[in-house]
Each structure stands twice: as C-alpha cells, then as structure tokens.
Amino acid sequence: MKLKVTQTKSTIRRKGNQKRTILALGLGKIGRSRLHDDNPVIRGMIYKVVHLVKVEEIED
C-alpha cells in the first residue's frame, strides 16, 4: 500500500522540526503531493505534521 501525502497548510510560524519533517517528506509548498510506501517511519513523520497535511491510502 502507498500513502499520498499532500501539504494543505503553510509551515510559516511552525517549529523547526516540523519544517524539516515537511521537507523530508518531499513537500514544501501548499498543494504539493508525494507518494510514499506505508511503513512506520513515514507514519511517524506524518503523525508529527498531521495538522499540515492530508493523507490518502492508495492500493497498489
């Protein structure tokens, strides 16, 4: 299974670790999306910035 992660909110006035997590997910601008494999590492990163992103599960 894959996860489609889309940034929905800005990182302005957010903590540094949240900004770095958004960049590590391959995002950085509102509306940008990336596909990631569903694993605990990615799930943890998403959990950290869940208020800034939208997540969709995509079947392979």
* pTM of structure: 0.93
Domain that holds residue 7: 2-58
Confidence label for 60 from pLDDT (cuts 50, 70 and 90): confident
User: What tens digit of pLDDT does each residue of 19-46 get?
Assistant: 999 999 999 999 999 999 999 999 999 9
Residues 5 and 39: their CA atoms lie apart, in Å, by 13
Number of domains in the chain: 1
Query: The CATH number of the domain where 19 resides is what?
Result: 3.30.1390.20
Q: What is the mean pLDDT of the chain?
A: 97
No. of helices (H) and no. of strands (E), the chain: 2, 3
